[in-house]
């Protein structure tokens, strides 16, 4: 009898791992994810109705757009219509595309309208701060609310927003989906249940999308300011339940699309690299020839000078007719 009990206890985790589904008596119990996705009054749908597109823009192509000051300063994206996206920690091009992200969104009046984190498609958080339609709007025990309309176009037409935080979490290597809503409720789902029981509803799953590119290296002689076709970019959007008239696929709110300045062309980057014989000159790639005293390999590396060993024995661009 003892052997049978042990075998039964061992079988449960095996079934749970292979089927990725609820096994009665074997641990987790999941809520009905299909009912949650179909419910127009779920806490996630209610949250979206409240916040609308605050801090962002409805749709995939109308995001607040901006740019970083330089490739070496990827902590603040300055938005074209006013406002900023502030990344903490700053983005690191050496780790592109980023696996995680934390940022806050400032509006054109320098007010923080929201903050966000991202660590995976099904692991993210959205915090939207309350705002009012008029200067007389107040929050309980908090005084006047900032205006939803900040003058940049963002927030126009949005009435009072209660805001709050929604957190979506999927542990690495698992198919569970935990949703913590602004109203204080929490929900525990098996994401695979949606694919098996209501596949047509899977586009409504809470999820976030981060797209990033570091840009491409321009040709060596592309000039001191390479064209934007070589620029990088980063954008962030969140999928919400459908609002009235938005269709069965749900709503997408894009919170920013920021351009990363393109890399400098190697002939204009202030470094000796590639086939250059000195900084940004000489060699076969750069049009610019080297001046007097700069390193060279042959006469053709120099600008009308000769490539000769100097007193230290190293070849430099030299005027052979100059007086010693």
β-sheet bridge partners, residue 54? none
pLDDT of residue 175: 94
Residue percentage of the chain with pLDDT more than 70: 83
- Counts for the chain of helices (H) and strands (E), in that order: 4, 17
- Do the Cβ atoms of 160 and 131 come closer than 8 Å? yes
Mean pLDDT, the chain, whole residue set:
86
Mean pLDDT of 136-145: 61
- Do the Cβ atoms of 79 and 105 come closer than 8 Å? no
Q: What is residue 152's three-state secondary structure?
A: coil
pLDDT of residue 148: 80
pLDDT of residue 321: 85
β-sheet bridge partners, residue 23? none
Residue 296 in tokens: 């060279």
Dihedral over alpha carbons 296, 297, 298, 300 (to 10 degrees): -60
Q: What is the Cα–Cα distance from 77 to 192, expressed in whole angstroms?
A: 37
Task: Express each pLDDT in 115-126 by its tens digit.
Answer: 999 999 999 999
pLDDT of residue 22: 46
Q: What is residue 234's three-state secondary structure?
A: strand
pLDDT of residue 25: 37
Which residues make Cβ contacts (< 8 Å) with residue 251, sequence separation at least 6?
48, 58, 239, 240, 241, 242, 243
β-sheet bridge partners, residue 239? 207, 252
pLDDT-derived band at 133, boundaries 50, 70, 90: confident
Residue 105 in tokens: 């969104």
Q: What is the Cα–Cα distance from 247 to 238, expressed in whole angstroms?
A: 16
pLDDT of residue 246: 52
pLDDT of residue 146: 79
Mean pLDDT of 298-315: 96
Residue percentage of the chain with pLDDT more than 90: 70
> Beta 65-70 vs 57-58: how paired, if at all?
unpaired
Task: Express each pLDDT in 262-278 by its tens digit.
Answer: 999 999 999 999 999 99
- Do the Cβ atoms of 179 and 19 come closer than 8 Å? no
pLDDT-derived band at 62, boundaries 50, 70, 90: confident
Task: Express each pLDDT in 25-36 by its tens digit.
Answer: 356 799 999 999
Domain boundaries, the chain: 1-27, 31-266, 274-324
Residue 7, pLDDT > 60, answer: no
pLDDT of residue 23: 46
pLDDT of residue 249: 75
Cα 69 to chain centroid, rounded:
17
> Beta 207-213 vs 164-169: how paired, if at all?
unpaired
Q: Is 8 exposed, middle or buried (0-12, 13-18, 19+ CB in 10 A)?
A: exposed
Task: Express each pLDDT in 146-167 by its tens digit.
Answer: 778 765 545 455 568 999 999 9
Helices (H), 52-166: none
pLDDT of residue 238: 96
pLDDT of residue 13: 43
Q: Which of 206, 20, 40 is nearest to 123 (CA)?
A: 206
Strand locations in the chain (E): 57-58, 65-70, 73-79, 84-87, 101-106, 112-120, 123-128, 138-139, 143-144, 164-169, 176-180, 186-190, 207-213, 232-240, 251-260, 306-309, 315-318
Residue 87, pLDDT > 50, answer: yes
Q: Which of 40, 44, 62, 35 is nearest to 240 (CA)?
A: 44
Residue 80 in tokens: 């074209």
pLDDT of residue 9: 41
């Amino acid at each position: 009898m003892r052997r049978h009990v042990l075998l039964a206890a061992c079988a449960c985790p095996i079934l749970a791992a292979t089927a990725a589904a609820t096994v009665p008596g074997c641990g987790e119990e999941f809520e009905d994810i299909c009912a949650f996705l179909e419910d127009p009054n779920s806490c996630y749908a209610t949250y979206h109705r409240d916040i609308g597109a605050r801090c962002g823009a409805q749709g995939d192509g109308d995001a607040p757009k901006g740019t970083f000051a330089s490739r070496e300063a990827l902590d603040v994206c300055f938005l074209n219509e006013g406002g900023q996206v502030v990344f903490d920690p700053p983005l690191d091009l050496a780790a592109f595309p980023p696996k995680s992200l934390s940022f806050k969104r400032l509006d054109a009046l320098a007010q923080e309208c929201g903050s966000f984190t991202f660590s995976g498609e099904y692991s993210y958080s959205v915090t939207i701060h309350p705002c009012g339609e008029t200067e007389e709007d107040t929050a309980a025990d908090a005084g006047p609310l900032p205006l939803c309309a900040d003058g940049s176009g963002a927030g126009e037409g949005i009435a009072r927003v209660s805001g709050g935080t929604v957190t979506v979490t999927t542990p690495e290597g698992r198919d569970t989906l935990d949703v913590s809503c602004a109203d204080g409720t929490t929900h525990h789902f098996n994401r695979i249940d949606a694919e098996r029981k209501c596949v047509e509803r899977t586009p409504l799953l809470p999820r976030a999308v981060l797209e990033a590119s570091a840009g491409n290296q321009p040709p060596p002689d592309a000039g001191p300011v390479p064209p934007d076709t070589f620029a990088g970019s980063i954008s962030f959007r969140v999928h919400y339940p459908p609002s009235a008239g938005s269709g069965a696929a749900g709503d997408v709110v894009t919170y920013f699309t920021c351009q990363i300045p393109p890399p400098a062309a190697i002939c204009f980057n202030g470094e000796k690299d590639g086939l250059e014989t000195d900084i940004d000159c000489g060699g076969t790639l750069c049009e610019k020839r080297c001046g007097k005293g700069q390193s060279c390999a042959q006469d053709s590396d120099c600008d009308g000078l000769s490539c000769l060993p100097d007193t230290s024995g190293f070849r430099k661009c030299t005027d052979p007719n100059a007086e010693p």
